[in-house]
Structure 1
Amino acid sequence: MINPSTLVSSSDIARRAGVQRAAVSNWRRRHADFPAPVVRSPGELFKAEQVAIWLGQRAIPAGSRRPDEAEGTTFGDRFRGTFDPSGRDGRAEDVDPRATERRERRSERSLRSDRAFDRPRRDGRANEIATRLMNWLWRLRTIGDPAAHADVLLTALYLRAAAPQGWDELVRRWRERSTGSMDDLEHALRGHVARDRQLMDMLWEPRWWAESPFLGPRNLSDLIDLLATTEGLSDKEVASEVAAELTERIAAWEGHRGGEFHTPRSVADLLARLVDPQPGEHVHDPCCGTGDLLVAAAARLPSGSVPMLSGSALSPRPLLRAGLNLALHGLRADLAPNALARIRGGPFSAGPFHCVISNPPFAMREWTTPGPSSPGHWRYGDPPKSNADFAWLQHIIGSLTPEGRAAVVMAPGSTFRGGRERWIRMAMLEDGVVSCVIRLPQGLFHTTNIPVTVWVLEKGRSPGSDVLLIDATDVAPDDFGEIVDAYRDRRTCERSRSRIPARACSLGELRDADYRLDPRALVSTRKTDSAGRERIDHLSERAAIDRLVRRSVLLDAKITQIEPVAADAMDGPHASRWPRRSLGDLCLIRTGPARIPSGTAADAPVVTARQIKDRRVHDEDLQYASARFAETSSQYRLRRGDVVCIRTGSISRAALIDADHEGWILGRGCLLLRPGPGVRPGYLLHCLSHPQVDDWVARRASGSVMPTISVQRLRELPIPVPPRARQDEICALLDAIDEKAALHAEIVRRTQRLHGAALTALLGDAPTG
């Protein structure tokens, strides 16, 4: 029962309905019948009873329901369940609008400080505690290995929450001596895991925090005092939320330095819902990273179930964080640092498992063992040695039980790349193991801005079965439950309740499309009248613009945080004394081929001057090289980390090759710069954009109409080379500014499209005669 006088704010509605604040804003914007606020200043407040009635008309999507919520449960049911049954909730006269406004301002500041726009709202205490701990970590960013310091932090946090006796003893000893050492931390952890063999395997072997000798007694004591005086960390649920928040922020801070991807919670939850693990089923992650996917899978099981979990990592180091993550959630798993050995062992070197969920690194190069390959080892075809994407997919299929299922995050290039990957993709489709391919929005991951895809694989399907393609490019993480609805409705042959564009493609259609699986190209627009379609487009554009603006706000916070450090790196007294080296000493320079035989869309794409814009490679108006040329001209194959620039005109038109464009061909009129160990590729890219560099090249170029510089003269270009740490700091700021520029360009583009969609949505079709 809700007291008729009870008022709630937008934040209260989101918290009680179990959604993010953005979902409430979307409801208000899209539905004219949403209750109007009864208090507008200084903070909007709504009548709780009216909100409950309105929410009672909205069923919770199947993919978003909690384990204890039955089919047909509404957001109103969830909202009402958070109130006191006696009706003794806050009354209108008890609500202080100024307090509400302050609370919402704090909430907005917390949101702006996040590194990931899609992070689900966590408990306020967890956010606050994580911020304090990150401040300790940030102070040590220039001392030793930051990743090792992060391991120390997470290990100490785990002891604080899970080993009260060992923790109290550790704090007592450190305070008695006014100092501490790594030996004390090791002693406490050894005592905690001594009686639990599985826990010892998860936490003891990879003790990488022992490699943090640079911390020193003072920094260690500061950490112990900080953890000891922070209330709430003895609660494992709070500690696990803090650890999850810390893991996301550390992953954003480290970027690719962490070695393996950290999977955002929204994506981890999506994958877990797609495979839908059941009690008694074994869930495996062949490249477990920080263990987020295994935690998400276990959360889908009913309370009281004992999850069967296992995982492998590319190296021993990530296992500590995966083990800590799982242990803080009260989970046990068989973890091993043998992911690379297993994938090298082929498709049947692990398992069988009922469910597999994974987010392996994109386009991993050095994955094969030295020496000749063994043809026929892989069922659907030998994967390229320069790209492990289809090795992971085949390995996962081979590790499933006869009726097993899997959900795997892949780079979008895996859906359309030609060459050997095209033949493997064709064989998988003909065999029927690919059930669904989903294209997700860009910007979900800290380490890449590309719109990743999810491959859903099922072992027991008939050969030649159709494939469901879902284009979720414009779907907010709050609405990922609708993706699950679209997938489950298709599996049960029900009419889809989801508004997300989706289409089941027959094998014949995929053959006609040359076995490409790009949902953007193959998912048709819903059949509707023109005005209705424009109204859908209007709402879609509005939602996309809102997401972009939120990301821009978060990016502003990031730039504000790193700008002072980068400015010190660029303007410090030592900057003018940085050594200068010639471009030829820093990198390999190669011109593009004189002639490229044309190929089809199934062959290798070519990077031409047309694709190089805004220091990025764009995918529009592509040309293709013939398969034979691509196979016999490996010197023109681009690698991740290469810098490509144009040879004529301004050299500042340059782009960095990422994982999604690896293997493409260097085009005519372009130059390849392959940096050596002395310079970071991103730093070299930004140097080429410097006005003085552009002027240097222009003065030495030949030709008045279209200036062209020779490779010999370009090798003489002087480049300032600061220490590697300074390069990282400079790149962090300039990359963030580039990303903000790209966001604003996308906002402008979508806003222009919004005008036409809004016009038709408001006025309908214009008269034609």
Structure 2
Amino acid sequence: MNTTPRQALLAPSDIANLAGVSAAAVSNWRKRSEDFPEPAGGTATRPLFARNDVIAWLQANDKPVIELAASNAIAALNLAHETLPASSAAGLDIAARLVVTLCTVRKLSDPTDREYDLPLWWNFVGRVTHDGFAASSDLGNAYGIELWDQLIQVPEEADLLPRDAVDEIANLIEQIPVNELAAAADAVLARTVGAKGRAGSDHGYIGNGVSDFLAQITTQDARGVVYDPACGIGDVLTQLAGHDAARGSITRMVGHDVDPGSIVIARQRAFLRDEKVDLNVADVLAEDPAPGIEADLVVVDPPYGMPYDGYDVLDRRWTYGTPSKASSEFAWMQHAIAHLADEGVAYVVTPSGPLHRGGRDGQIRRSLIADGCVHAIYQLPRNLLRHVSIPLAVWALGRPGASVEVKFVVAESVKFTGSWPDFEKANPMAVVSIEDVLAGDANLVPDRWLGLDTPDPAGVANTYALAVDRIRAAGRDTESADLHPFAATGYTQVATIGELKDRGALEIRTAKTAKGDEDDPRRVTTRDIAAGRLDEPDTGVAPGMVSELPDARELTVPGDVLLSTLNQLAAVLDEFGGHILGAGVVGLRVRDPQLRPDYLAAVVDGRWNKRFFTGQAVQRVPVRDLEVPILTLADQEAFARAAADLRNIQRIAAQLQTAATDALASLAEIARYGIATDPDD
């Protein structure tokens, strides 16, 4: 397909964003609506549609149009990309830089609309459409804009665009409200990295899950001076500035990056948000560009696993050892620590290797831990980055002597609300003393330490005392427990459940699970029955009104015997009723007054009935074949009483075992950590 210049173009995904619907919805519109616009450009696999035609179709068909500003910027991006005679990836990058720059010129022009007869924007557009972008280089001086040269750097390749295409691109940007230019520019940058793949993420990108997480966890420490020595396009800094807008705790923000193009974009993004950030190009690892910075917060999300061999061995930043040439992670960490104020904290993102690697890295890691510089390690979920699946970690670092323990947190998700302490508590966490970490080969992999926290002495002593009290209480319960005898007659008649049903002595009730019953709190599972007790269900009505419920016929009643028939044979007496039978659960409802439900529940899961199980992977027992000894009513009562006594003793024994296990574990920790205890315990 050939595109006609002057047409603003949208891809199907852009149309979805414009209308606030899914990509599948747009696909359905294209297939089912004969009047949907035909592609006006692009290719067969990536069609592009004329923006004006799409908006007209949406409005004519009562579809929402909610992202006009972003769609204008994306349409400008598509048009520039389509008309640039460059390779796909390079052309897209040039197009994105051009559109973001035009957004910046548009905002710079806003005050000049009232101060000059010819507003800056009109002058700029007039020059570039007639004489090319180079003709606009002196406009900063003409309009007294000191930041012009830092902010307005148009790619040379932009002059390859046809003039009518430039005019249409400028027209699209002019339609974006000034207060929406920042969001529009970010939409363009987000689209660019998605199309460029991994190469587009080298210096950060919009929608970066790691940057988002880093900005969230560091907000609590964002005050005073904030420094990012590998800022890329400034995503973390701009997010922190946004979070701080209402508080005003940040007094200065500084960013460095080795890539000039990224610094320009970072400056443009900060300007579009009215954020004051000191951003400069610098190779931080080669030479410290600002030795005097003492930051209250340092954030670093550097290139991962990047080799570097330009270290100056005399550089005073390498207090804990000259970093390895094979990777630069410990260079970034030492640079961050060197720039911390006394109470400052640094957060550095690295792959998992530096957490456990040996050699020179291992020596530096051990020194950092021993000197109290490592506050915490946060293990991040995989796939936070679009094109990198390696596991990542965030190191929380401080000045020497700032910490006597290391906190390990495994972040199962990076999405959270509320305070940061609440997030930490909601995820697997351990707090371990520096001594224990060093004794563990200075290994900082969080999974290595989960469950191995350095215990609180008072907590250990209290746990031990409580466990001993529970042992003593269980002993007293055992001494006072009843144990009624059962006198067997020596003769027993046996009947199967099937025979009892055929006689009318009981009913067999099976599960009738409907859609949605799986999550019903009244549902009884085979696991519940194996546990040996049932809780009273929440039916939402008074006990006497259960029979009035719509599904009353499917509910159990007090006295029903519930039987697990899958893999494990077990039975329990339902004392409450109002339950729903789950999969593998059978209900026995006694109808004969000569058969006691409590006796049936106590005897039907006898070991002799386990011989009836059939099946391989999933074993089932046919309920009708189960055998029940038939006793007199008096003997059934005596049997049920004796069985209840034994179950009570079994419960006490389980409590005793748990208490003894807890006491033994606490006793070992008392010895290991030299914890003082009350001699009376």
Query: TM-score w.r.t. structure 1 length?
Result: 0.46
Q: What is the Cα deviation at residue 762 of structure 1?
A: 8.2
Give the counterpart of 1:368 among 304, 310, 316: 310
CA gap of 1:377–1:308, structure 2 versus 1, over 3 A, is closer
Helix, strand or coil for the counterpart of 1:404? strand
Listed as ranges, the matches of 1:334-345 within 5 Å are 334-338=278-282, 340=283, 342-345=284-287
Task: Tell whether the 8 Å contact from 1:263 to 1:359 is kept in structure 2 after alignment.
Answer: no
Q: CA deviation at 1:427?
A: 0.8
CA distance in 2, matches of 1:762, 1:155: 65
2:207 maps to which residue? 264
Q: Is the 8 A contact 1:409 1:455 kept in 2?
A: yes
1:429-475 per-residue CA deviation (whole Å, 9 max, x = no partner) reads 11111111112222222341223221111226445x21111111x31
Looking at structure 2, the residues matched to 763 and 285 of structure 1 have their Cα atoms a distance apart, in angstroms, of 58
Give the AA of the match of 1:360. Answer: P
The Cα shift of 1:226 comes to: 2.2
Match of 1:209 in 2: 155
Structure 1 126/441 Cα, relative in aligned 2: closer, same or farther at 3 Å?
farther
Q: How many correspondences in the alignment? A: 402
Q: Match for residue 308 of structure 1?
A: 252
2:324 partner amino acid: P
**Residues 459-498 of structure 1 aligned to structure 2 (within 5 Å):** 459=399, 461-462=401-402, 465-472=404-411, 474-475=412-413, 477-479=414-416, 485-487=422-424, 498=425
Counterparts of 1:235 and 1:761 in 2: how far apart (Å)? Answer: 62
Contact (CA 8 Å) 1:358, 1:407: kept in 2 or not?
yes
CA shift, 1:182, in A, is 0.6
Match of 1:399 among 329, 339, 352: 339
CA pair 363-220 structure 1, distance change in 2 beyond 3 A: same
Counterpart residue type for residue 254 of structure 2: S
Alignment of 1:42-441 (within 5 A): 105-106=21-22, 124-139=67-82, 143=86, 145-146=90-91, 147-164=93-110, 165=112, 169-171=120-122, 174=125, 179=130, 181-188=132-139, 191=142, 194-196=144-146, 199-200=147-148, 202-203=150-151, 207=153, 209-228=155-174, 230=175, 233-236=176-179, 238-258=180-200, 259-262=202-205, 264=207, 266-276=209-219, 281-303=224-246, 305=248, 307-338=251-282, 340=283, 342-345=284-287, 349=291, 351-366=293-308, 368=310, 373-374=313-314, 378-441=318-381
CA contact (8 A) 2:109 2:120 kept: no
Cα 1:201–1:226 change in 2 (3 A) is closer
How far does residue 220 in structure 1 lie from its aligned partner after superposition? 2.1
Please say which structure displays the higher CA radius of gyration.
Answer: 2
State the distance in 2 between where 1:450 and 1:110 align: 34
1:355 Cα deviation (Å)?
1.0
Q: Give identity over the alignment, percent.
A: 21
Quick one: distance in 2 between partners of 1:110 and 1:211? 34
The verdict on how the C-alpha distance between 1:301 and 1:375 changes in structure 2, with shifts beyond 3 A counting, is: closer
Is the aligned partner of 1:506 residue 2:433? yes
- CA shift, 1:188, in A, is 4.6
Query: Counterpart amino acid of 2:337?
Result: I
The 5-angstrom pairing of residues 665-680 of structure 1 reads: none
Secondary structure in 2 matching 1:357: strand
Residue type matched to 1:468 in 2? K
User: Does the Cα contact within 8 Å between 1:160 and 1:234 map onto a contact in 2?
Assistant: no
Could you list the runs of 5+ residues in structure 1 that have no partner in the other structure? 1-101, 113-121, 488-497, 527-757
* Deviation digits for residues 566-618 of structure 1 (CA, Å, limit 9, x no counterpart): xxxxxxxxxxxxxxxxxxxxxxxxxxxxxxxxxxxxxxxxxxxxxxxxxxxxx
- Identify if the C-alpha distance between structure 1 residues 273 and 178 changes in structure 2 by more than 3 Å, giving closer, same or farther: closer
SS of alignment partner, residue 285 of structure 2? helix
> 1:517, CA displacement in angstroms?
1.5
Question: Secondary structure, in 3 states, of the residue corresponding to 1:351?
Answer: coil
Greater RCO, CA 8 A, separation 6+:
1
Q: Is the Cα contact below 8 Å between 2:378 and 2:395 reproduced in 1?
A: yes
Report the Cα offset of residue 265 of structure 1: 5.6
Structure 1 residue aligned with 2:674: none
Contact 1:360-1:409 at 8 Å conserved across structures: yes
The 8 Å contact of residues 77 and 95 in structure 2, kept in 1 or not, is answered as: no
Q: Which amino acid aligns with 1:246?
A: V
The 3 A distance-change label for structure 1 pair 460 and 270 is farther
- Which SS does the other structure have where 1:253 is aligned? helix
Q: Structure 1 residues 426, 125: closer, same or farther in 2, change over 3 A?
A: farther
Q: Report the 3-state secondary structure (helix = DSSP H, G, I; strand = E; otherwise coil) of the residue aligned with 1:510.
A: helix
Residue identity in the other structure for 1:365 = P
Aligned counterparts of 1:172 and 1:376: Cα–Cα separation in 2:
51
What letter is aligned with 2:262?
P
Structure 1 residues 128, 104: closer, same or farther in 2, change over 3 A? closer
